[in-house]
A = this chain, B = another copy of it.
Amino acid sequence: MATRSPEDIEAFCRRAQDHWSKDGRRTQVRDILSRVVAAQAAPFSADELRTQARRIDRGISYASIYRTLGSLVEAGLLREIVGPNDRRCYTLIDSTHTGVSHIVCTDCEQVVPMNDDCLPLREGFLARQLGFTPRKMSLRIEASCEELRQHGACARRKQKEP
């Protein structure tokens, strides 16, 4: 699985910490969550974040997970999307990924972000013509895996963490 570069992780972490320094407080829990979130190479669920964060601090609760995720979404650092089985997932909003589109594979339960920079422009324009000011945008493509269909297996299938 692809990993994020140390620089990207570092940069994202700092953005999150900045956000909290301004708007609230920098705490241990938030620092841990920043680090874990910043390192995610793929879209992740609240549950996955909790599991990974608990490897660092066993006591981190769902309450903090959800409150933190909400805060990062509001701050524009994360995008909330609808993943496999209609479960919520989160993707980083980053220099390396700004797209609003993603593919949800029903075969391998994987979420694959897409880049399509002109989509928001085009659709945003249409929305404005209808008298709206667009705030968030998200294109979800539910799809099946061609690789799986042809070869009976798919390299993208997400592994369960040990």
Interface positions of A (Cβ within 8 A of B): 82, 101, 103, 105-106, 112, 114, 116, 119, 123-124, 126-128, 130-147, 149
Q: Are A144 and B133 in contact (CB under 8 A)?
A: yes
Q: Do A136 and B147 have beta carbons less than 8 Å apart?
A: no
List 16 contacting pairs A-B, 8 Å CB cutoff, sorted by A: A101-B123, A101-B126, A103-B130, A103-B134, A116-B126, A123-B141, A127-B141, A131-B145, A131-B146, A132-B141, A132-B144, A132-B146, A133-B143, A133-B144, A136-B140, A137-B141
Chain B minimum-CB-distance residue to A135: B142
A42 to chain B minimum Cβ distance, whole angstroms, is 14
Contact between chains at A123 and B143 (CB < 8 Å): no
**What residues of B have a CB within 8 angstroms of the CB of A149 in the complex?**
133
Distance in angstroms between the alpha carbons of A139 and B105 in the assembled complex:
16
**B114 & A143 in contact (Cβ 8 Å cutoff):** no
Instruction: Give the residue name and chain of the B residue nearest to A143 (CB).
Output: B132
Q: Are A134 and B126 in contact (CB under 8 A)?
A: no
Q: Once the chains bind, are B116 and A123 in contact (CB under 8 Å)?
A: yes
Residues in B with CB closer than 8 Å to A134 are 103, 141-143
- Tell whether, in the assembled complex, residue B135 and residue A138 are in contact, meaning their CB atoms are under 8 Å apart: no
Name A143's contact: one of B101, B127, B138, B147 (CB within 8 Å).
B127
Q: Which residues of B contact A144 (CB under 8 A)?
A: 132-133, 135
